[in-house]
Amino acid sequence: MAREKIIIDTDPGQDDAVAILLALAAREAIEVLGITTVAGNAELERTTVNALRIVELAGRPEVPVFAGCTRPLLRPLETAKHICGEDGLAGTDLPPPRRAAEARHAVDFIVETLLAAGNGEVTLCPIGPLTNIAMAIVKEPRILPKLRRIVLMGGAQGLGNITPSAEFNFYVDPHAAHVVLTAEVPVVMFGLHATHQALASPPRLAAITALGTPIARAVTGMLSRHRPDAIEKFGGPGHPLHDPCIIAYLLWPELFQGRDCHVAVELESREAIGRSTIDWWNRTRRPPNAHVIGRIDADGFFARLTEQLARL
Protein backbone atom coordinates (compact mmCIF):
# COMPACT_ATOMS: atom_id res chain seq x y z
CA MET A 1 0.00 0.00 0.00
CA ALA A 2 1.40 3.39 -1.02
CA ARG A 3 2.30 5.85 1.69
CA GLU A 4 0.12 8.94 2.00
CA LYS A 5 2.06 12.01 0.95
CA ILE A 6 1.49 14.93 3.28
CA ILE A 7 2.65 18.45 4.08
CA ILE A 8 2.29 19.49 7.72
CA ASP A 9 1.59 23.20 8.19
CA THR A 10 2.18 24.06 11.82
CA ASP A 11 2.92 26.57 14.59
CA PRO A 12 4.59 24.42 17.29
CA GLY A 13 3.13 24.43 20.11
CA GLN A 14 3.18 21.33 22.31
CA ASP A 15 0.37 19.40 20.67
CA ASP A 16 1.78 20.36 17.25
CA ALA A 17 5.04 18.75 18.36
CA VAL A 18 3.31 15.48 19.24
CA ALA A 19 1.51 15.54 15.86
CA ILE A 20 4.82 15.93 14.02
CA LEU A 21 6.40 13.14 16.06
CA LEU A 22 3.48 10.83 15.27
CA ALA A 23 3.75 11.53 11.54
CA LEU A 24 7.51 10.94 11.55
CA ALA A 25 7.10 7.72 13.52
CA ALA A 26 4.59 6.30 11.03
CA ARG A 27 7.03 6.28 8.13
CA GLU A 28 5.62 3.09 6.58
CA ALA A 29 2.21 4.75 6.16
CA ILE A 30 3.04 8.45 5.79
CA GLU A 31 5.58 10.30 3.67
CA VAL A 32 6.18 13.77 5.08
CA LEU A 33 7.15 15.86 2.05
CA GLY A 34 7.92 18.86 4.20
CA ILE A 35 6.94 20.86 7.25
CA THR A 36 5.83 24.47 6.78
CA THR A 37 5.61 26.91 9.66
CA VAL A 38 3.28 29.78 10.36
CA ALA A 39 2.89 32.39 13.09
CA GLY A 40 0.32 31.34 15.66
CA ASN A 41 1.12 29.80 19.03
CA ALA A 42 4.26 31.97 18.88
CA GLU A 43 5.93 34.28 16.37
CA LEU A 44 7.16 32.72 13.13
CA GLU A 45 10.83 32.76 14.16
CA ARG A 46 10.01 30.68 17.23
CA THR A 47 7.61 28.27 15.52
CA THR A 48 10.21 27.62 12.82
CA VAL A 49 12.95 26.93 15.36
CA ASN A 50 10.56 24.65 17.22
CA ALA A 51 9.77 22.64 14.09
CA LEU A 52 13.49 22.17 13.50
CA ARG A 53 13.99 21.10 17.11
CA ILE A 54 11.24 18.49 16.82
CA VAL A 55 12.55 17.07 13.55
CA GLU A 56 15.98 16.68 15.13
CA LEU A 57 14.49 15.13 18.27
CA ALA A 58 12.82 12.53 16.05
CA GLY A 59 16.10 11.74 14.29
CA ARG A 60 14.68 12.77 10.91
CA PRO A 61 16.94 15.64 9.76
CA GLU A 62 16.17 14.85 6.11
CA VAL A 63 12.63 16.26 6.48
CA PRO A 64 12.79 19.87 5.23
CA VAL A 65 11.30 22.78 7.16
CA PHE A 66 10.11 25.96 5.41
CA ALA A 67 9.22 29.22 7.17
CA GLY A 68 5.98 30.84 6.05
CA CYS A 69 3.81 33.83 6.86
CA THR A 70 4.73 36.09 9.77
CA ARG A 71 1.18 37.35 10.41
CA PRO A 72 -2.46 36.70 9.49
CA LEU A 73 -3.91 37.96 6.23
CA LEU A 74 -5.75 41.01 7.57
CA ARG A 75 -5.31 41.08 11.35
CA PRO A 76 -2.45 41.63 13.80
CA LEU A 77 -0.99 38.44 15.22
CA GLU A 78 -2.17 37.16 18.58
CA THR A 79 -0.14 34.30 20.06
CA ALA A 80 -0.88 31.63 22.68
CA LYS A 81 2.19 32.06 24.84
CA HIS A 82 -0.03 32.06 27.92
CA ILE A 83 -0.62 28.35 27.16
CA CYS A 84 2.49 27.27 25.22
CA GLY A 85 5.13 29.27 27.07
CA GLU A 86 7.38 32.07 25.90
CA ASP A 87 9.20 29.89 23.34
CA GLY A 88 6.07 27.95 22.34
CA LEU A 89 7.41 24.60 23.61
CA ALA A 90 7.48 24.94 27.38
CA GLY A 91 8.37 21.70 29.09
CA THR A 92 10.52 20.13 26.38
CA ASP A 93 13.97 21.41 27.37
CA LEU A 94 15.18 20.81 23.80
CA PRO A 95 18.48 22.28 22.57
CA PRO A 96 18.64 24.80 19.72
CA PRO A 97 18.50 23.19 16.27
CA ARG A 98 21.72 22.40 14.46
CA ARG A 99 20.43 23.55 11.10
CA ALA A 100 18.33 26.35 9.66
CA ALA A 101 15.11 26.26 7.70
CA GLU A 102 15.21 26.00 3.92
CA ALA A 103 15.60 29.22 1.94
CA ARG A 104 12.33 28.82 0.04
CA HIS A 105 9.19 30.41 1.48
CA ALA A 106 6.62 27.93 2.78
CA VAL A 107 3.89 29.13 0.40
CA ASP A 108 6.21 28.67 -2.58
CA PHE A 109 7.12 25.18 -1.37
CA ILE A 110 3.45 24.24 -1.07
CA VAL A 111 2.59 25.60 -4.51
CA GLU A 112 5.60 24.11 -6.30
CA THR A 113 5.24 20.72 -4.60
CA LEU A 114 1.56 20.45 -5.47
CA LEU A 115 1.98 21.60 -9.07
CA ALA A 116 4.57 18.87 -9.54
CA ALA A 117 2.26 16.20 -8.07
CA GLY A 118 -0.42 14.13 -9.74
CA ASN A 119 -4.08 14.90 -9.24
CA GLY A 120 -5.35 13.90 -5.81
CA GLU A 121 -1.86 12.91 -4.68
CA VAL A 122 -1.07 15.11 -1.64
CA THR A 123 -2.84 15.74 1.66
CA LEU A 124 -2.37 19.05 3.48
CA CYS A 125 -2.39 18.83 7.27
CA PRO A 126 -2.74 22.35 8.70
CA ILE A 127 -2.60 22.36 12.51
CA GLY A 128 -2.17 26.10 13.06
CA PRO A 129 -3.73 29.24 11.61
CA LEU A 130 -4.52 28.68 7.93
CA THR A 131 -2.56 31.65 6.56
CA ASN A 132 -0.04 29.69 4.48
CA ILE A 133 -2.71 27.43 3.01
CA ALA A 134 -4.98 30.33 2.04
CA MET A 135 -2.06 32.20 0.49
CA ALA A 136 -1.13 29.16 -1.59
CA ILE A 137 -4.72 28.74 -2.80
CA VAL A 138 -5.04 32.41 -3.75
CA LYS A 139 -1.62 32.52 -5.37
CA GLU A 140 -2.12 29.40 -7.50
CA PRO A 141 -5.63 27.88 -7.70
CA ARG A 142 -4.25 25.16 -9.97
CA ILE A 143 -3.05 23.38 -6.84
CA LEU A 144 -6.58 22.42 -5.82
CA PRO A 145 -6.98 19.36 -8.11
CA LYS A 146 -3.63 18.10 -6.83
CA LEU A 147 -4.99 17.77 -3.32
CA ARG A 148 -6.41 14.52 -2.03
CA ARG A 149 -7.86 16.44 0.92
CA ILE A 150 -7.14 19.01 3.60
CA VAL A 151 -7.35 17.58 7.12
CA LEU A 152 -7.26 20.49 9.54
CA MET A 153 -7.54 21.38 13.21
CA GLY A 154 -9.68 24.44 13.74
CA GLY A 155 -13.07 25.72 14.74
CA ALA A 156 -15.57 24.51 17.29
CA GLN A 157 -19.15 23.36 17.37
CA GLY A 158 -19.77 25.14 20.65
CA LEU A 159 -17.65 27.34 22.88
CA GLY A 160 -14.29 28.75 21.86
CA ASN A 161 -10.96 28.56 23.68
CA ILE A 162 -9.57 32.01 22.91
CA THR A 163 -12.83 33.98 22.97
CA PRO A 164 -16.27 32.83 24.14
CA SER A 165 -17.14 31.85 20.58
CA ALA A 166 -13.92 31.22 18.62
CA GLU A 167 -11.28 28.50 18.54
CA PHE A 168 -7.69 29.81 18.45
CA ASN A 169 -6.62 28.85 14.90
CA PHE A 170 -9.75 30.27 13.27
CA TYR A 171 -9.64 33.35 15.50
CA VAL A 172 -6.02 34.17 14.65
CA ASP A 173 -6.76 34.18 10.91
CA PRO A 174 -10.49 33.90 10.21
CA HIS A 175 -10.12 35.19 6.66
CA ALA A 176 -7.69 32.40 5.84
CA ALA A 177 -10.11 29.86 7.31
CA HIS A 178 -12.83 31.30 5.07
CA VAL A 179 -10.62 30.94 1.99
CA VAL A 180 -9.90 27.29 2.77
CA LEU A 181 -13.50 26.36 3.56
CA THR A 182 -14.80 27.98 0.39
CA ALA A 183 -12.20 26.35 -1.87
CA GLU A 184 -13.37 23.42 -3.95
CA VAL A 185 -11.39 20.72 -2.15
CA PRO A 186 -12.37 17.96 0.31
CA VAL A 187 -11.90 19.14 3.90
CA VAL A 188 -11.91 17.09 7.10
CA MET A 189 -12.30 19.35 10.13
CA PHE A 190 -11.40 18.63 13.75
CA GLY A 191 -12.87 21.27 16.05
CA LEU A 192 -12.61 21.64 19.80
CA HIS A 193 -15.79 19.66 20.35
CA ALA A 194 -13.89 16.62 19.03
CA THR A 195 -10.31 17.24 20.12
CA HIS A 196 -11.23 17.92 23.76
CA GLN A 197 -12.10 14.23 23.92
CA ALA A 198 -8.41 13.38 23.31
CA LEU A 199 -7.34 14.32 26.82
CA ALA A 200 -3.85 13.33 27.97
CA SER A 201 -5.06 12.20 31.39
CA PRO A 202 -2.54 11.06 34.02
CA PRO A 203 -2.94 7.31 33.22
CA ARG A 204 -2.55 7.92 29.47
CA LEU A 205 0.47 10.14 30.02
CA ALA A 206 1.98 7.57 32.40
CA ALA A 207 1.91 5.00 29.58
CA ILE A 208 3.96 7.35 27.41
CA THR A 209 6.33 8.16 30.25
CA ALA A 210 6.93 4.43 30.81
CA LEU A 211 8.54 4.18 27.37
CA GLY A 212 11.62 5.75 28.93
CA THR A 213 12.95 7.20 25.67
CA PRO A 214 14.11 10.77 24.91
CA ILE A 215 10.92 11.20 22.88
CA ALA A 216 8.79 10.04 25.80
CA ARG A 217 10.60 12.38 28.19
CA ALA A 218 10.05 15.34 25.88
CA VAL A 219 6.36 14.52 25.40
CA THR A 220 5.91 13.98 29.14
CA GLY A 221 7.55 17.32 29.83
CA MET A 222 5.23 19.09 27.42
CA LEU A 223 2.03 17.45 28.62
CA SER A 224 2.61 17.28 32.36
CA ARG A 225 2.60 21.06 32.85
CA HIS A 226 -0.02 22.10 35.39
CA ARG A 227 -3.20 23.47 33.88
CA PRO A 228 -5.49 24.84 36.59
CA ASP A 229 -8.56 25.08 34.34
CA ALA A 230 -8.38 21.50 33.03
CA ILE A 231 -11.06 19.93 35.23
CA GLU A 232 -13.48 22.78 34.61
CA LYS A 233 -12.90 22.80 30.85
CA PHE A 234 -12.21 19.15 30.00
CA GLY A 235 -13.71 17.18 32.87
CA GLY A 236 -10.37 15.95 34.19
CA PRO A 237 -6.68 16.87 34.57
CA GLY A 238 -4.51 16.92 31.49
CA HIS A 239 -3.94 18.66 28.17
CA PRO A 240 -6.09 17.86 25.11
CA LEU A 241 -4.07 16.65 22.12
CA HIS A 242 -5.82 18.64 19.40
CA ASP A 243 -3.29 18.41 16.60
CA PRO A 244 -2.21 14.74 16.82
CA CYS A 245 -5.81 13.85 15.95
CA ILE A 246 -5.11 15.07 12.42
CA ILE A 247 -2.31 12.57 11.85
CA ALA A 248 -4.17 9.82 13.71
CA TYR A 249 -7.11 10.27 11.33
CA LEU A 250 -4.84 9.51 8.37
CA LEU A 251 -3.55 6.37 10.08
CA TRP A 252 -6.66 5.05 11.85
CA PRO A 253 -9.85 6.60 10.44
CA GLU A 254 -11.92 3.94 12.19
CA LEU A 255 -11.28 5.73 15.50
CA PHE A 256 -13.27 8.78 14.40
CA GLN A 257 -16.90 9.54 13.57
CA GLY A 258 -18.30 12.60 11.85
CA ARG A 259 -20.68 13.90 9.23
CA ASP A 260 -20.67 16.18 6.21
CA CYS A 261 -21.72 19.72 7.16
CA HIS A 262 -21.69 23.26 5.92
CA VAL A 263 -19.24 25.36 7.95
CA ALA A 264 -19.08 29.15 7.86
CA VAL A 265 -16.56 31.43 9.58
CA GLU A 266 -17.63 34.74 11.11
CA LEU A 267 -15.67 37.65 9.60
CA GLU A 268 -17.65 40.74 10.60
CA SER A 269 -18.73 40.63 14.22
CA ARG A 270 -16.24 42.17 16.63
CA GLU A 271 -17.44 39.93 19.46
CA ALA A 272 -17.67 36.70 17.47
CA ILE A 273 -14.98 36.98 14.80
CA GLY A 274 -13.48 33.59 14.00
CA ARG A 275 -16.52 31.67 15.22
CA SER A 276 -17.27 28.58 13.13
CA THR A 277 -20.96 27.94 12.51
CA ILE A 278 -21.31 24.20 11.90
CA ASP A 279 -24.68 23.22 10.42
CA TRP A 280 -24.67 19.82 12.15
CA TRP A 281 -28.39 19.22 11.54
CA ASN A 282 -28.46 20.65 7.98
CA ARG A 283 -30.90 23.40 8.94
CA THR A 284 -29.77 25.77 6.19
CA ARG A 285 -29.73 23.13 3.43
CA ARG A 286 -26.48 24.64 2.19
CA PRO A 287 -24.09 22.20 0.47
CA PRO A 288 -21.56 20.60 2.85
CA ASN A 289 -18.03 21.94 2.59
CA ALA A 290 -16.37 19.85 5.32
CA HIS A 291 -16.53 16.44 6.96
CA VAL A 292 -16.74 17.47 10.61
CA ILE A 293 -15.49 15.00 13.18
CA GLY A 294 -17.74 14.66 16.21
CA ARG A 295 -16.54 11.65 18.22
CA ILE A 296 -13.14 10.14 19.00
CA ASP A 297 -12.24 6.75 20.45
CA ALA A 298 -9.82 8.35 22.91
CA ASP A 299 -8.59 5.12 24.49
CA GLY A 300 -7.80 3.66 21.07
CA PHE A 301 -6.14 6.91 20.02
CA PHE A 302 -3.80 7.03 23.01
CA ALA A 303 -2.95 3.33 22.84
CA ARG A 304 -1.89 3.62 19.21
CA LEU A 305 -0.14 6.95 19.71
CA THR A 306 1.96 5.40 22.48
CA GLU A 307 2.85 2.44 20.27
CA GLN A 308 4.02 4.76 17.50
CA LEU A 309 6.06 7.01 19.78
CA ALA A 310 7.89 3.92 20.99
CA ARG A 311 9.27 3.50 17.47
CA LEU A 312 11.21 6.76 17.47
Residues acting as catalytic residues: 242
Q: How far apart are CA 81 and CA 291, in angstroms?
A: 30
Contacts of residue 231, Cβ cutoff 8 Å, sequence gap at least 6? 237
DSSP line for 195-264: HTTSEE-HHHHHHHHTT-SHHHHHHHHHH-S--TTHHHHHSSSSEE-TTHHHHHHHH-GGGEEEEEE-EE
Answer whether the bond into residue 13 is a cis peptide, omega within 30°.
yes
Helices marked H in the chain — which ranges? Answer: 14-25, 44-57, 81-84, 106-115, 131-139, 168-172, 174-181, 192-195, 202-209, 214-223, 230-234, 244-251, 298-309
Residues in Cβ contact with 100 at an 8 Å cutoff, skipping those fewer than 6 apart: 52
Bridge partner list, 102: 66
64, with CB counted inside 10 A (0-12, 13-18, 19+), is: middle
Handedness of CA 276, 77, 22, 8 (dihedral sign): positive
Cα 132 to Cα 69: distance, rounded to the nearest angstrom: 6
- Find out whether 141 and 168 touch, Cβ atoms under 8 Å: no
Cβ contact 40:11 at 8 Å: yes
